[in-house]
Structure 1
């Protein structure tokens, strides 16, 4: 059978507090989003996946996607790939931290 030997997925709740933030690792803050947010579907699916997360998590997630796509292929890659769906959140995040 296909699932033989595989472990079942379980829900994991992470507490994002000052000790996590002080580590300076954005991946620790957005790790849960990678499994829950669909950047390859519709805008509705994207928004639905984000409902359980905070606004700052949403912005960091989008900025990380922008950075990954931009440094792999520039603006063209970011805006033409499915992950370009995060563009508004990425802009909001970069504005919030004063980059743009």
Structure 2
């Protein structure tokens, strides 16, 4: 498939990407992850099916997360791991996994990523992969805040018992490579250096394999959480 140059930087991108972004490669279109906390909450709520895209309000001026009580929207099955996992017969696995991830997200935002246990990091990494890769491919996973968990991803998939997704993620992380720090500036600089003139081509095959993978990853993650988080 012939690629089309980005009208800003000239890097060649998939025609579908150029069409979607109205002429830009994905890095130019996205820029740094400048989503507000409210926008991140809304992104997760949309994925969980708790709100529609048309109901987003983060773009309105003067709104703060606390005014909207967004946490209640993201925690429909409970505010503790035990409460969420009790609902296994009442909701889809992806909804419960997202609720678990939201609990972990609030802990991270309050006390930092270093406050998370290894088990929490694994659940967070798996849900982050599902959210970001389904939305924009592995490039987006490494680019957005989930990129801080880049080196947790493969071990996370291994401990929950994944074989197919682990194989795909192993290739994606190998392409990403090793860098001394996974902080935002380091990741952005590194991604700029390895994607120069290639845009998302580096992860095209990984993305395609990911979208075609039928492994029941959410159920695996919930089974792991039942043993390790409760």
Q: What TM-score, normalized by structure 1, do the two folds share?
A: 0.59
Do residues 16 (structure 1) and 81 (structure 2) align?
yes
Do residues 49 (structure 1) and 113 (structure 2) align?
yes
Residue deviations 1:58-89 (CA, integer Å, cap 9, x gap): 21111111111111111122223332111122
- Whether the 8 Å contact between 1:69 and 1:78 is mirrored in structure 2 is yes
Partner of 2:104: 33
Question: How much is the aligned-residue C-alpha RMSD, in angstroms?
Answer: 3.0
Spell out the pairing of 1:71-90 with structure 2 (5 A cutoff): 71-90=134-153
**SS of corresponding position for 2:161:** coil
Q: What TM-score, normalized by structure 2, do the two folds share?
A: 0.30
Gaps of 5+ in 1: 9-13, 39-46
In the aligned structure 2, how far is the partner of 1:7 from the partner of 1:72?
25
Partner of 1:41: none
Partner of 1:91: 154
- CA radius of gyration, larger in: 2
Paired residues, what number? 82
- Whether the 8 Å contact between 1:59 and 1:93 is mirrored in structure 2 is yes
Gaps of 5+ in 2: 1-61, 70-78, 167-230
